[in-house]
Amino acid sequence: MPLRFLVVDDHALFRDGMVSLLKAAGMQVVGEALNGAEAVNEAARLKPDVVLMDIDMPILNGIDATRKITETIPEIRVVMLTVSQEDDKLVDALRAGAKGYLLKSLSSDEFIDLLRKLEKGEPPIPSSVTVRLMNYVAQQSSSSEILNEKLTEREIELLGYLGLGYPNKLISEKLGVSDNTVKYHIKNILQKLNFNNRAEAAAYAVRHNLNPKM
């Protein structure tokens, strides 16, 4: 049986073209949606095998919609559609549960060939995106090594709480230390990483996915 697709994109012209391309390739399109909120509802109603999901959409973006779908109906495979090769969006999409990442700039033949990988249980990701992902992971590993060299284990843990937006009082409760000790650690973190304020430190923690032990 051919895979059953739900096509999600807020641009009607692109969506129509995608539906036509899939049907011409012998694939079954069971529905369409024009934003992430509709995608979540239609996925629950239609139970497609695959959702082709645009990333940048109104009301609910594709990454948040992907997270909702994969959490509630994990058997549905979501493949992101995008014009962007931004590393952060790629990683966010995969963390949200996406099983593939296709660029809208691909040729029709390459697009369909990559989608057919789903039938074999393989992720449809162009080689150029795979290379970017590998480079991103390598850079993150390098950043983690540098972080471990500069900060103590306690400072890294505290940095994770900054990334969660916790105030000093709550951090002190979590770590079982005084407010003054928290302030002392934050001062050290800012000096060691050359940050001007805790907002920069928090942004760094989020970017590098530093999660404290809860």
- The pLDDT value recorded for residue 1 is 75
DSSP for 40-84, written as a single string = HHHHHHH--SEEEEESS-SSS-HHHHHHHHHHH-TTSEEEEEES-
Q: Taking the model in full, what pTM does it have?
A: 0.62
Q: Which CATH architecture has domain 4-133?
A: 3-Layer(aba) Sandwich (3.40)
Same CATH fold, 151-207 and 4-133?
no
Percent of the chain beyond pLDDT 90? 43
> Per-residue pLDDT tens for 85-96?
665 677 778 778
pLDDT averaged over every residue in the chain: 84
Q: Which amino acid is at 176?
A: G
What's the CA gap between 205 and 102, in Å, rounded?
A: 28
Which of 158, 164, 190 has the alpha carbon at shortest distance from 177?
158
CA dihedral over 44, 46, 49, 50, signed as positive or negative: negative
Could you tell me if residue 134 is left (phi over 0), alpha (psi between -120 and 50 degrees) or otherwise beta? alpha
For the chain, the domains span: 4-133, 151-207
Class of domain 151-207 as given by CATH: mainly alpha
- The pLDDT value recorded for residue 151 is 84
